[in-house]
Chain A
């Protein structure tokens, strides 16, 4: 029955059909709902079942734990600011009311741009936005004004992706471009202590609204780990993630669940992921060695760095974006390592940007082609040498 329906309506959308202009939309709807019997025409007669949809949906599956935890945490922090805990269900409901609209805004606005560009450029709608749209709400505070988010998505899609030629051609990760836009255009909505929690009425004094990064940035004489602990931020609380922060970034545990999934199914590169963590650890150890006093942010031990802020989320979901990362295996190692190094460098040395991860990844996005070129240059040189032997 489905067969007959699809075969009946398809001619309207193909070349010469009445609705030819809307072919990308037909293609999108048709391929999302059905795997069509599209036959191979050239080259290999059989093709792998793996396709871009499968790739993208795998990333989304991997992000679900972080999303679920983010929803709960948004609700939890809301009630915590009032000094009470009403139970799991209520936290989820309250959290969902904060977080789900962000997803709706991002997907709605993003879809409009995607469809517009697909129709104008006469190409299929690429699934890449499913992931961009899924990740963006997870890296913003739950209190972000919707209209700002809408503008940020538009900026991310149009400037971050379409200006470069669309999916596959973009140099920067569109979700991070959108977040960077928010950071520089509306700093009040995405930095400081007041934005990470949707405060309830009758706030209690004991509630710490500042993120661990903000706490750590304050220089003092007390050892930095103790400063954090005084505010309730031990390694394990930060690892589990019941703390204020961006929606999906707080729980390293949930992020690592996603990481395990991505590594098991091979969608994300283990080289990139591992080397980001390695780079972060190395840089943190370097700072530890030169830290002037235990109260300095430089003295923060590496395992703290890895569970704070957007480091883990960036390493697992952002650095591994196949389009904007380095493409060669060796290149990925350098690319990831420098992301880790830069993230900690920015975080420690520049108090104006306590969250260095986003900038580090965007920076290395710009350098990824150069890294690849160097790797490839060695390959070309090997071949040239052989030719003149």
Chain B
């Protein structure tokens, strides 16, 4: 283990959102339905391998990537395919499986040798056939990694700074061995290093992280987005161009990969935290990947609420009958806005959480560090012309000029985008810029437009 100097970040914003998850675990009832959603994967074009009515086991391939036949997506449960939901232009949205509770598993062949002598050619096929390979994301572009590429480095963030997001130190508890095993596997996949970043200010860091072997450990401190892996890459070993590929992996993903090699079989078990003020029973739930929300999420019925798989910045809206997304470890529930507010923009704003100092809440929350605010799924304004106010730079702790990058995307100037650092960011890194934007633009969507353009034509 090798501890590097602490990376101290000042820029960013710590959102004091109400509704944090309690530090308690609970076994969720086994879901009656689970789903695999091709839409969880950026830019994926799926080719179906099953039909409605097919019986599947844990690990049965449901579809594959049209552009890369090797990348398979497998079922997290045994049972029967009951529905294939298609959206606009017949794009596959969900493959819904009715579970039978038996959890019969497909056999996965794992080479019978010690991990330390395994090579890429041993590991990659196992990850591909088990359907765990999509857990590995590549930068630039933030898409499923290309199994044929050897990444320069691999980055893991054990730090979650998004509002009311789950604590990796709790999730990894009891899974320390799996995590280490996962690190061992991943380190065989790169010629470079495995970088692990932890929150320097966390009072109770898990030994799984601090005592992890074979990693370069980084202590990072700062408000959101200090926990984003893209920020870590930028400060540790920045991406130098479109062919400078690094891989990223979440803590949960490392655990999954580790468990597969430890137990020799695929286990779809995962932990999903329930957060948000309208949610009841806000705990860490043990369930399986792709579980239906209604199997474990409870909420107060007297409110019009929004369910989000993921965090409030980057997550996707789902219905109560919907399913947890592939990468997500949290379900956030927030109230929907309901009423018009008379002259709302003139109030002092003591109860309105804001990054801007034009609201009293800014000073209030500094006086009262424990105060938390409720925030509804409201735009809080209306879309306006892009007025540069110097606010965006303050929430992006990177040597990047967000306004100029976004403008170069609007102008579709590929060379400019490359020069301004588009390879170093993905949507989640610009989520706070979008949050604080007084002009209410959709920066994450715009950034993806730029990334797609650069990937296609750069």
Contact = CB atoms under 8 A, between A and B. Distances in A.
The yes or no verdict on A and B being binding partners is yes
Contacts of A39: 336-337, 377-379
Contacts of B419: 380, 383-384
Interface in B326-373: 332, 334, 336-346, 349, 352-359
B209 interface: no
A87 interface: no
Contact of B345 (A35, A43, A264, A383): A35
Contacts of B434: 43-44, 47
Which of the listed residues A34, A44, A380, A387 has the most CB atoms from chain B within 10 Å of its own CB?
A: A44
Nearest to B360: A265
State which size class the interface on B falls in. Answer: 35 or more
Interface stretch (B39-47, B113-121, B134-142, B436-444): B436-444
B91 interface: no
Contacts of B207: none
A266 B434 CA distance: 18
Interface in A39-55: 39-40, 42-55
B145 interface: no
B7 interface: no
Nearest to A385: B240
B230 to A, nearest CB: 15
Contacts of A44: 312-314, 431, 434-435, 444
Contact of A54 (B17, B358, B385, B399): B358
Contacts of B238: 386
Nearest to B244: A387
Nearest to B242: A387
B103 to A, nearest CB: 33
A113 B393 CA distance: 34
Interface in B200-250: 238, 240-241, 244
B350 to A, nearest CB: 11
B317 A327 contact: no
Given A49-B349, A50-B356, A167-B385, A3 B377 contact: no
A124 interface: yes
A206 interface: no
B354 A50 contact: yes
A48 B356 contact: yes
Contacts of A18: none
Contacts of A57: 345-346
A126 interface: yes
Contacts of B241: 387
Contact of B445 (A43, A128, A168, A265): A43
A36 B356 contact: no
Contacts of A387: 240-241, 244
B66 interface: no
Interface string B390-430: 10010000011101100000000000100111000001000
Contacts of B440: 47, 51
A389 interface: yes
B344 A35 contact: yes
B10 interface: no
B173 interface: no
Interface residues of A, number: 60
Contact of B383 (A33, A37, A124, A266): A124
A184 B388 CA distance: 30
B87 to A, nearest CB: 16
A382 B399 CA distance: 10
Contacts of B5: none
Given A49-B380, A379-B399, A55 B358 contact: yes
B204 to A, nearest CB: 28
Which of the listed residues B345, B357, B379, B445 has the most CB atoms from chain A within 10 Å of its own CB?
A: B345
A379 B401 contact: yes
A336 to B, nearest CB: 13
Given A35-B341, A266-B356, A327-B403, A45 B443 contact: no
A45 B438 contact: no
A38 B378 contact: yes
A219 interface: no
Contact of A50 (B338, B358, B383): B358
Interface string A1-15: 011001000000000
B112 interface: no
A36 B358 contact: no
B384 interface: yes
A-B pairs with the 10 shortest C-beta distances? A51-B381, A35-B344, A168-B385, A380-B419, A37-B337, A50-B356, A34-B340, A266-B357, A49-B352, A43-B444
Interface of B: 17, 238, 240-241, 244, 306, 308, 312-315, 317, 332, 334, 336-346, 349, 352-359, 375-390, 393, 399-401, 403-404, 416, 419-421, 427, 431, 434-440, 442-445
18 contacts: A35-B380, A36-B340, A36-B341, A39-B379, A40-B377, A44-B435, A49-B349, A49-B356, A49-B381, A50-B356, A52-B384, A52-B387, A52-B438, A53-B345, A57-B345, A124-B384, A322-B388, A379-B420
